[in-house]
Structure 1
Amino acid sequence: MLLMLAEPGMPLDRAVSFRRSVAGAESNVAQGLARLGHWARWIGRVGDDPAGEAVLRELRADGVDVSGAEMDPQAPTGLLLRDSHAQRVIDVQYYRSGSAASLLSPDQIRLEMLEGARVVHVSGITPMLSESAAQATWALVERARQVGAAVSFDPNVRRKLGSEHEWIRTVGPLLREADLVIAGEDELELLLGGGAEETSKALLTMGRARTVVVKRRDHSASALGRDGECTQEPFSVPVSDPVGAGDAFAAGWLSAWLRGRKPEEALAEAACVAALVVQAPGDTDGLPTAHTRDRALAGFLQDSDSVNR
């Protein structure tokens, strides 16, 4: 979607100045991975309009491959309006009913788009957009299996998209199909009907999951695998805008996983990337390069001099 971000600190209904950017769960992760030095392709739909051009241009600028994107001459690019506050609830308004993205269908998920991919990441937002988008999500999982790619899944529950029952019915089954699950504690409780510890272990024993990463309410995170569990406390940073932290965390975790890092190292990198993003406005402004991540992480872990001399 095209993101129109109100000036910092202003409530949405009083804001007169907006900054244009781009937002979207999967595109945020793609941008995060690209900045961290990985090849990433985004598959999606935008309108054949100025907003769509802006979305694709920004993704290209970060090095994201958009050859799998489609521009729809009939449907508009989705729009997101929101304000930005560090200490109070953020007002988010979505305008994506009938948007190009909501018309995603299985026909767009072609096998050649996934060839060479090691991991395919999708969020619960996509299947909640429409019935055809849900079918496309299942097609994506099937195609990922065909090319031997791991499936990474983040429920990313957004209550404005549907009722609890609709989320449970549509997104719950996808959790059981993921090789890598990155989910909030509250999301696991909602979608699987049990405590986070219980549901995580169930996904490891009865689902396909190799690893379940749980983002907890106190902002710590745990990684549960078949070989054990490790935990990471959040890094203490001043928060400018908390939106985008979850997608940044996912990008940080997947980057470490792709590089063969141990779970405890992956959690630290994920927490570091999220900590950098919440210090900047917008969903993607704070996404770091690999060098910036490493310098920041060294500062967090070793209390080293962060000045670039």
Structure 2
Amino acid sequence: MSYEEQPRGRPVPEVVTCGEAMLLMVAEPGVPLERATVFRRSVAGAESNVATGLARLGHHTRWLGRVGDDPSGRSVLAQLRADAIDTSYAVVDPSAPTGLLLRDSHPARAIDVQYHRAGSAASRLTADELTAEMVEGARLVHITGITPMLSDSAHTATLRLLELARAAGAMVSFDPNVRLKLGTPERWRSVVGPLLGQADITLAGEDELELLGATAPGLLAAGVTTAVVKHRDKSATCSTADGTWRQDAFRVPAADPVGAGDAFAAGFLSGVLSGAPYDRCLAAGAAVAALVVQCTTDTDGLPDRQGLVRALSSFMGAAETVHR
């Protein structure tokens, strides 16, 4: 295995994410997966989605992870680099494949998702691959519950990354991102539940907190400084020791709901990094999510900074909806 080769003198990242990035193949909209013959290629992965969202919003972002030495891995790294994400610490493994995600796309019925990740390069992440220099200077380290659920070694690596983030003085944001195809509710509670209280910022769905046996007040009592909850009605609340803020979802025609949570996280965290008040952070998260669900893949709708400003003005009724 080897690190992805990039020029020396790596710039200091503002944000570091670590996790699995897979090749995504999305069936043509409206066609069930079992009947689809035409697919669109993209990249999927909770942490890489957030990295892409933050990079497009102007934050220098580094992605840590592993891909196979195969066409899928090269495609994944090429797309991340195209969004100016630093992949210089990505590990290319010649003995394990890049994960593959197949899914269909429907705006009005359940979406079928197939993961092909058993034995993938990402699942072989180990603690000794993570070093202090990878997070040195970072303001924020973002992780999700998916990575520690991939394998025992990836779980240990996640714990190591939390230690490195603390030593570097970086904030930690954590999204449980529960995917029951990765394990039973009991395993999610035992592996991921304890990680919630180790973050500075948590971003979780209401249903995820219920499954993990956690609440926003309980997280704040455990030392989390900012607890964000995404509710079933698509609204979101942000709670701190100073109060609670609420944001309704912006109503848009949804083409595909997949990726909305990662998009919300990118918008919210960008607001935090920019020093915005929490009501503006929530609005940014809701706006980025609203843009993403209008597109088919996880990343097509992720805006740049100017696009986010225009979207917020439009959603709040302060600007023309057509940019001329």
TM-score, structure 1 normalization? 0.97
What is aligned with 2:199? 178
3-state secondary structure, aligned to 2:107: coil
Structure 2 counterpart of 1:241, from 241, 244, 256:
256
Listed as ranges, the matches of 1:54-133 within 5 Å are 54-133=75-154
> What is residue 196 of structure 1 aligned with on the other side?
none
Aligned pairs (5 A) from 1:257-276: 257-276=272-291
Could you say what secondary structure the match of 2:164 adopts? helix
- What is aligned with 1:190? 211
Q: Work out the CA distance in 2 between the residues paired with 1:55 and 1:34.
A: 16
Q: Could you give the per-residue CA deviations for residues 47-87 of structure 1, whole angstroms, max 9, x where no partner exists?
A: 01110000000000001000121000000000000000101
Correspondence for 2:293: 278
3-state SS of paired residue (2:35): coil
Query: Structure 2: which 5+ runs fail to align?
Result: 1-21
Structure 2 counterpart SS, 1:302: coil
Name the counterpart of 2:220. Answer: 204
Structure 2 CA distance, aligned partners of 1:22 and 1:143? 27
In angstroms, what is the RMSD of aligned CA positions?
0.7
1:190 aligns to what SS in structure 2? helix
Q: Which of 28, 31, 51 in structure 2 is aligned with 1:30?
A: 51
The CA distance in 1 between the partners of 2:129 and 2:216, in whole Å, is: 32
Return the offset for 1:302. 2.4
Q: Distance in 1 between matches of 2:159 and 2:172?
A: 11
Corresponding residue SS for 2:202: strand
- Partners of 1:204 and 1:256 lie apart in 2 by 20
| Equivalent residue, structure 1, for 2:15 | none
SS across alignment from 1:41? strand
Unaligned 5+ segments in structure 1 are 194-198
Distance 1:235 1:171 in 2: 30
Q: CA deviation at 1:202?
A: 1.1
Q: How many residues align?
A: 303
Which whole-Å CA distance do the structure 1 matches of 2:140 and 2:89 have between them? 16
CA offsets per residue over residues 250-294 of structure 1, 9 Å max, x none? 000000000000010000000000000000110000000010000
Superposed displacement of residue 307, structure 1: 1.5
Task: Tell me how far 1:109 sits from its aligned partner.
Answer: 1.2
Corresponding letter in the other structure for 2:197: R
- Distance (whole Å) between structure 2 residues aligned to residue 10 and residue 60 of structure 1: 31
Query: Residue type matched to 1:247 in 2?
Result: D
SS at match of 1:13: helix
**Which digits, 9 at most, give the CA deviation of each residue in 1:95-136, with x for residues without a partner?**
000000000110111110001110100000000000000000
Quote the Cα distance in structure 2 between the aligned partners of 1:268 and 1:293: 10
Shift of 1:306: 2.0
Which of structure 1's runs of 4+ aligned residues deviate more than 4 A? Answer: none
Counterpart check, 1:19 vs 2:40 = yes
Query: Which residue of structure 1 lines up, in the alignment, with residue 10 of structure 2?
Result: none
How far apart are the structure 2 equivalents of 1:306 and 1:114?
Answer: 40
2:171 is aligned, of 141, 150, 153, to 150
1:139 aligns with 2:155: no
TM-score (normalised: structure 2): 0.93
Once the 2 structures are TM-superposed, how far is the Cα of residue 303 of structure 1 from its aligned partner? 4.5
Question: Per residue, is there more helix in 1 or in 2?
Answer: 1
* C-alpha distance in structure 1 between counterparts of 2:315 and 2:39, whole Å: 33
- Code of the residue aligned with 2:217 in structure 1: it is K
Report how far residue 4 of structure 1 moved.
0.5
